[in-house]
Amino acid sequence: MTAPEHSSAEGYDPLYAAFDSPLMRQLRQEAYGEDIGQHSWVTAEELRSDVGRLSLTTSSRLLDAGCGPCGPLVFAVKSTGCMGTGLDVSASAVASGRARASAAGVQDCVALFEADLNLPVPFDGSSFDAVISLDVIVHLRNRKSFFHEMARLLAPTGRFLLTDAGVITGPISNEEVERRSINGYTQFVPSGLNENLLEAAGFRLIDQEDRTHSVLLNASGRLRAMLAHRAEIEGSDGKEAFARQQRYVETVVALAERRALSRIMYCAELAKV
């Protein structure tokens, strides 16, 4: 599967335009086991658990910051009946998300907008009861500003759940950094930084979980699916693009296997003022 994580719209729109092609659907099914229209390292199993962590109800307002083609957002809306809003820099991702919401019958409960998360979000304060941001933070330039912006958007005691697949927990070579960073701007951080920045933004960390296993599971599945459909992917994307993505996924697998780069889930609650 060749769809990347988020950064800027450049290079992403063509990939997300093909996100629901028959080939991409087949690759996701083989890579993830359960295709819910997810991207990056999200699994359906962990998403079910995370929806429970957010205590969403039919009156809840959920924001997905960096929603991509909206698999997780549509999943959350359909399973809880909440109102969902998605933001993504890619117009193709937003278009794919709207089609997904319509196919799931929740189009009236989902609002999607193009937005660059490196900039202030165009919503009033306390507009949401919960925010998710899955494997997006690694591609943002200023996570301190982003965390403060999410705090502004949340109602009192609102919950913010994010995953960061770029937490350094072991030695990484410069060659590995280069191969792991092919999908636009990428920022790896040391353990403890996210926790400190969340607290500084007014959050209280209520849950934290190492999810590096999901990276290893999904990346290994993605690699197997890519190799099984190599001729089709090369015919669509070209041999050079296939080889580049293969090196990327192989690097992701190697870093996860030796726990040099970890994926951590953080669930935080906005502290009472």
> How far apart, in whole angstroms, are the C-alpha atoms of residue 239 and residue 19?
19
Residue ranges of the chain whose pLDDT lies below 70: 1-12, 273
* Residue 79 CB partners (closer than 8 Å, separation 6+): 48, 51
Q: Going from the N-terminus, what domains does the chain have, and what CATH number goes with each? A: 13-167+185-211+261-270 (3.40.50.150)
Q: Which two tokens stand for residue 146?
A: 């982003």
- What's the confidence (pLDDT) of residue 40? 84
Residue 170: Cβ-neighbour burial (10 angstroms; 0-12, 13-18, 19+): exposed
Closest CA to 117 of 97, 131, 137, 95: 137
pTM as predicted: 0.93
Q: Assign 3-state DSSP to the chain and report helix, strand, coil percentages, each to 5.
A: 45, 20, 35
> How far apart, in whole angstroms, are the C-alpha atoms of residue 17 and residue 72?
18
pLDDT tens for each residue of 58-83: 999 999 999 999 999 999 999 999 99
- What's the confidence (pLDDT) of residue 11? 55
